Structure 1
Amino acid sequence: MASEDLSVSNLYNIKGKVALVTGGGSGIGTMFASAYVQNGAKVYIASRKEKQLKEVADALDKKGPGSCHYIVADVSSKAGCDALAEELKRRESKLHILVNNSGATWGAPYNDVPEKEGWDRVMSLNVKGVFYLTVALTDLLAKDSDSFNPAHVINISSVAGLNTVATESGLASDGHGLWSYNTSKAAVNHLTSVLASTLSPRCITVNAVLPGIFPSKMTAFGYKTHGEKGMSSGTPMGRAGHPRDIAGIALFLGSSASAHITGAHIPIDGGALVGRVKAAL
């Protein structure tokens, strides 16, 4: 044991690994992709918007030293997840890291939440897509994985999945709430636990990251309305999240440093959750 290599460069090494990041064309997805590319991984980003994907892929690929590629895909349906998985299998024989990041939200008054956009689309993309894409890529993840070098599934949830108040997030207009979004992220948390139990015998870890306030498409309304200072006013650490915060957890959960961790739900919120609990006491 004394001779085991416990250096950062070994434990957190992702050089040469293949990663897929859904919703990688913006926000937290781009932060994950950037962290992996800058540390030598081959990264595929996927979403419906080809122009956005190409711009991000070109920028990250230019920065290197890893590489970034894109696949146009819609992961809100089983058919879309299967199509993305088939395209990735056509290009790669092994997947080391899957980041299920694609998501949607919808704010509306309590008594006027549209069924299709407010519930069906949000639950399909945020929950169903996580399940079906993971299923479709399980064989590619399991190939050549072992208990010291497992494959990694990272589900991007939210601290909203633990929040029981739907109308005080600052992310929607006054009188509007995020009932379906908060519920969908609570479902992602439990789905993470269920998948971790299901896939651990195949040497695939499944963990959830629960971001607080970060600059992204979903928080754009809040940033525009309240500014960064207003958005981070409830954060004990005194600021919103930044790309380096995502990069740290991305490298940890995507490398052998986290080989013995599965089923974890990890908040990245500057202490907002624990601060809220303390205040309640």
Structure 2
Amino acid sequence: MNTELLFSVRGKVALVTGGTRGIGYMIADGLVRAGARVYISSRKAEACAQAAAELSAHGEAIAIPADLGDPAGVAAVSTELAAREPKLDILVNNAGANWGAPFESFPQSGWDKVMDLNVRSIFFLTQQLAPLLKAAATPEDPARVINIGSVDGMTCPDYGNYSYAASKAAVHHLTRHLAKHLAAADINVNAIAPGPFPTKMTEVMLRDAGERIFSVIPRRRTGLPSDIAGSVIFLASAASAYITGAVIPVDGGFSTTR
């Protein structure tokens, strides 16, 4: 066993959706620095180009802007990637949206927007990129699909993000379903369920309730970029070749006490 290669992703091709900010950017940055060629996708072309330029200071990063909440955007990313690469080693389905409102006034638009991006886009992007994933896959080194769920899909939040929590629970189960289906094609499918990380999505929550949240996180802190990047690199490397269908909390123990 060559332990130097056990956790290596050098030379692999990856796509990180929602890779321009927050957890997606942390993941893309970690993969780029580890030697992967990383494509990032997000809705805003300018933000996508800027993030790719920043990441390119540390390796290879290429922008493919698209709105994955729209089926046309999913098709555009798939087509563009297939035109550029003969295979895809790592797909990180991270793009997501949140919506919070009181139960009595929670809008259908907030439900549909979140479900379309957080769940539907994961299934159809994985479906459309399956040929590239299969081209990269071998029995010894499977291709990897890594879905980003949430501890909100494992426990019941105290706040009114009803569609978000339901969507992430769906992501976790979809991960298990896809893992079973795609194993025969040598594609591993796993999910990471992050706890609180300092991102734009959690900014208000951490500002208003950060002290209370920290008090029930056994590790007594939010996640660091290295926490999420390291978890993705593990799931993308030879070290995890025998792991599929898993949902791994990266939450400092938050899901055990919530």
User: Which range, TM-score by smaller chain?
Assistant: over 0.9
1:234 to 203, 208, 216: 216
In structure 2, stretches of 5+ residues that fail to align are none
C-alpha displacement of 1:35: 0.6
Change (3 A) 1:273 1:144: closer
1:76 to 63, 69, 74: 69
Whole-Å separation in 2 of the counterparts to 1:211 and 1:109: 24
Cα shift readout 1:68-115 (whole Å, capped 9, x = no counterpart): 111111111332211110011111111000000000111011011111
**Secondary structure at 1:191 match in 2:** helix
Whole-Å separation in 2 of the counterparts to 1:247 and 1:36: 7
C-alpha displacement of 1:226: 3.8
The TM-score, its normalising length taken from structure 1, stands at 0.89
Cα shift readout 1:125-183 (whole Å, capped 9, x = no counterpart): 0000000000000010011411211100000000000122x4x25xxxxxxx0111110
- 1:219 correspondence with 2:198: no
- 1:150 correspondence with 2:142: yes
**Count of aligned pairs between the two proteins:** 258
Structure having the higher Rg = 1
C-alpha displacement of 1:231: 4.0
Q: Percent identity?
A: 48
Whole-Å separation in 2 of the counterparts to 1:147 and 1:31: 29
Q: Which runs of 4+ in 1 moved over 6 A?
A: none
What's the counterpart of residue 135 of structure 1?
127
**Secondary structure at 2:190 match in 1:** strand
RMSD: 1.2
CA contact (8 A) 1:222 1:231 kept: no
What's the counterpart of residue 56 of structure 1?
51
Question: Which 10-residue stretch deviates more, 48-57 or 149-158?
Answer: 48-57
CA contact (8 A) 1:157 1:188 kept: yes
What's the counterpart of residue 13 of structure 1?
8
CA contact (8 A) 1:208 1:265 kept: yes
Whole-Å separation in 2 of the counterparts to 1:226 and 1:163: 17
What's the counterpart of residue 190 of structure 1?
173
- 1:124 correspondence with 2:107: no
Cα shift readout 1:203-254 (whole Å, capped 9, x = no counterpart): 0000000000001121011133345x45422201111101010121011011
